[in-house]
Structure 1
Amino acid sequence: MKILNKNEKTGEIKLLIQTPDDLWHIYNLVEPGDSVFATSYRREEKVRDKLRPERMEKKRMWIGLVVEKVEFHDFSDRLRIHGVIEQAPQDLGEHHTFNLTVKDNLTIVKKWKGHQLARIEEAVEATHEPLITFLAIDDESVLMAQLHQYGIEELAEIRSPRVGKMYPQKSAREEFFNEVTGKIKSTDVGEALIILGPGFDKDALYETIREKLPEIALKTSLFPTSHSGMLGVQEALKGGMASEILEKTRVALETKLVEELLSEISKEGKYAYGPDQVRDATQRGAVLTLLVTNELIRKEEIESLLKQVENAKGRIVVVSPKHEGGRKLKSLGGLGAILRYKVDWS
């Protein structure tokens, strides 16, 4: 994401969408009632007579909407903003939808909250984060997935061919690895490829990649995990075994903070979760880091809580429910806090 213009007095910020992850950030920034401006298309209708309107070609124009609804679909590379036209050469008061994607720009006018401005800065910095691809392997399959700032996208699952009379074991293994390397070759794996899983299959796969795709082998790392598949990817994200690149990603940060909260809960330490406990801890000025799902942050009753945390110099992290850490936070009511000191909740 790139900031093209910022006017603090009017609350106007113009943004350039540079990556698909930026769409997720904008989804979390735009709320009903905001004004959003972008270039879009409207069709004029020229009436010949009362019975037959003539349909004209769509015309490109600058349109301003009062937002009613925002829609984001996982891994679709598209964001939809619905609203009522407040500024345009025509059709004032009618409904319109912006379909935004990479390379589009938009202007948002609103009363900005502190955590929203912080999110924009994070998105600007995250534009330079590397694309990371995972290969989670066991003796039955390889799962290929990529890490986005809002979750993990499963790209493919390659099943190992059955070993039988027609295929000696060695041939079946070679066929399996050849299919995997073919998929790697046809995919933009980004700046890092991480092979993970239990046992020694990952080592054998790495040797095949080094032989057939030496340039990709140079950016490949191996990590032992107790699980394969998506569970193995989630295990790597929890920390400890991940590289510095992985630890800096948004999903890894959110996952690590949720795991830290769960650890504090398990040992009855510095934690609060659920509306009542978090509100109490906030009033005490005890909140160090507030974790809230993006679904919950849109609710009006949460706004005063966020302001109190910001005033007390606490950190606010909006957590995506589209990965395991976010789903765990959602099971706690979507709201939790790591505290500066222990509070007795008994």
Structure 2
Amino acid sequence: MRLVDKSIDKEGEGSITLIPEEPEDMWHAYNLISEGDSVRSTTIRKVQSESATGSSTSNRVRTMLTITVENIDFDTQACMLRLKGRNIEENQYVKMGAYHTLDLELNRKFSLRKHEWDSVSLERVEISVDPTKSADVAAVIMQEGLAHVCLITSSMTLVRAKIDVTIPRKRKGFVQQHEKGLAKFYENVMQGILRHVNFDIVKCVLIGSPGFVRDQFFEYMFQMAVKLDNKVLLDNKSKFMLVHTSSGFKHSLKEVLQDPAVINKISETKAAGEVKALENFYTTLQCEPAKAFYGKKHVETANEAQAIETLLISDNLFRCKDVNLRKEYVNLVDSVRESGGDVKIFSSLHISGEQLEQLTGVAAILRFPMPELEDEDSEAEED
């Protein structure tokens, strides 16, 4: 997603202009636009015109229109958002108050105006504009003297660094120069990884090469990590995975991503945090029921006691028509974060999100047991 313009006042009112560039961006747009917001974009409108003789002709004209959104339809197959609402700005082709449907598509600029941009919406904009924040897989594709450091999101690959070093050939009398050149190359690749891979987000780093280059590099990197006591690399050693590629060029990444072992590893990383959190929730619910609760009322009570360690919440709840109810969920997210809790916002298009929906869409794992919430349940059942 490309951010074109952002104009928000101190009260949180204002507009943001965006251009969706990837299929994933349409999903972000769907999560950002709520009923009651106003959206401005170009559209095609059928216009009837009457000639002097009384005959009428209809033409399709492109015009800029601003509507107040009343209905949102997301076509996941065509990657298109259909917004229906009333026109709220003077237009030579569309009367004020007339209904129109705006189609938001890839590479079509739109401006979104809200009465209040809350923290959840602003965070969504930040993630969509900076895809590195959602890239949970990294890859280093290399051969002697050439390497590409890439970040992979669910819909795109970003080359973050290209390392190109001339290494003297390994021949009689030049062995030392060859080894020096190789060490310099490996050092540059290691620095590229440290600079561009955020290990707080990235859950898997693939290192691919022909021959034994990947193995030699991996050995060099961890020898240096031990020598320099580099905690970042040492703590994340288990995230690295060595795979074979035919070259060090970017197109070899395609081979890596088709490797069954890699597919298995990557499928674990996609929404892995959410899946694990949901598993933890079910386990806690079975083993320590006083530390796991779901439903808005119980979760809010636990939050008042600052007892929430992990909040599990569906992005569907932020699309509710009731503005006040949405605010309550946003306040819940902000409050849990302020008290040091972890917040996992689940995608309703993901299987784990669907499971959470069955538990009312909001659940929490607590820091300490709250048996009084269980007592409330049993009292309610008795009544």
Asked if these proteins are the same fold (TM beyond 0.5), I'd say yes
Percent identical residues: 25
Count of paired positions? 260
| 8 Å Cα contact 1:273/1:332 also seen in 2 | yes
Residue 121 of structure 1 aligns with which residue? Answer: 126
Residue 65 of structure 2 aligns with which residue? Answer: 63
Residue 276 of structure 2 aligns with which residue? Answer: 256
Structure 2 residue runs of 5 or longer lacking an equivalent are 138-152, 156-204, 207-242, 375-383
| Cα displacement (A) at 1:19 | 0.8
| Cα displacement (A) at 1:276 | 2.6
Indicate the RMSD between aligned Cα atoms, in angstroms.
3.7
Distance in 2 (CA, whole Å) between partners of 1:294 and 1:26 is 13
What amino acid maps onto 1:304 in structure 2?
A: E
| Cα displacement (A) at 1:103 | 1.1
Residue 152 of structure 1 aligns with which residue? Answer: none
Residue 107 of structure 1 aligns with which residue? Answer: 111
- How big is each residue's C-alpha offset from its partner over 1:311-344, in whole Å with a ceiling of 9 and x where there is no partner? 3525544322222211211121221123343322
- Following superposition of structure 1 onto structure 2, how do residues 25-40 of structure 1 map, counting pairs within 5 Å? 25-40=28-43
Q: What's the TM-score once normalised by structure 2's chain length?
A: 0.58
Change (3 A) 1:302 1:33: closer
Change (3 A) 1:43 1:37: same
Of 313, 330, 335, which residue of structure 1 is paired with 2:362?
Answer: 335
Does residue 1:24 correspond to 2:30, yes or no? no
Change (3 A) 1:316 1:53: farther
| 8 Å Cα contact 2:318/2:329 also seen in 1 | no
- Following superposition of structure 1 onto structure 2, how do residues 171-250 of structure 1 map, counting pairs within 5 Å? 215=252, 216-223=254-261, 236=264, 242-243=265-266, 247=269, 249=270
Change (3 A) 1:123 1:50: same
Classify the secondary structure of the residue corresponding to 1:223.
helix
Q: What's the TM-score once normalised by structure 1's chain length?
A: 0.64
Residue 276 of structure 1 aligns with which residue? Answer: 297
| Cα displacement (A) at 1:74 | 2.4
- How big is each residue's C-alpha offset from its partner over 1:260-284, in whole Å with a ceiling of 9 and x where there is no partner? 3223323226422122321211222
Change (3 A) 1:318 1:103: same
- Following superposition of structure 1 onto structure 2, how do residues 134-153 of structure 1 map, counting pairs within 5 Å? 148=154
Classify the secondary structure of the residue corresponding to 1:280.
helix
Change (3 A) 1:16 1:131: farther
| 8 Å Cα contact 1:72/1:78 also seen in 2 | yes
| Cα displacement (A) at 1:308 | 3.7
Residue 317 of structure 2 aligns with which residue? Answer: 296
Distance in 1 (CA, whole Å) between partners of 2:329 and 2:316 is 15
Of 86, 91, 98, which residue of structure 2 is paired with 1:94?
Answer: 98
More helix by share: 2
Structure 1 residue runs of 5 or longer lacking an equivalent are 133-146, 150-190, 193-205, 225-232, 237-241
Change (3 A) 1:257 1:73: farther
Residue 286 of structure 2 aligns with which residue? Answer: 266
Say which one has the larger Rg.
2
Classify the secondary structure of the residue corresponding to 1:311.
helix
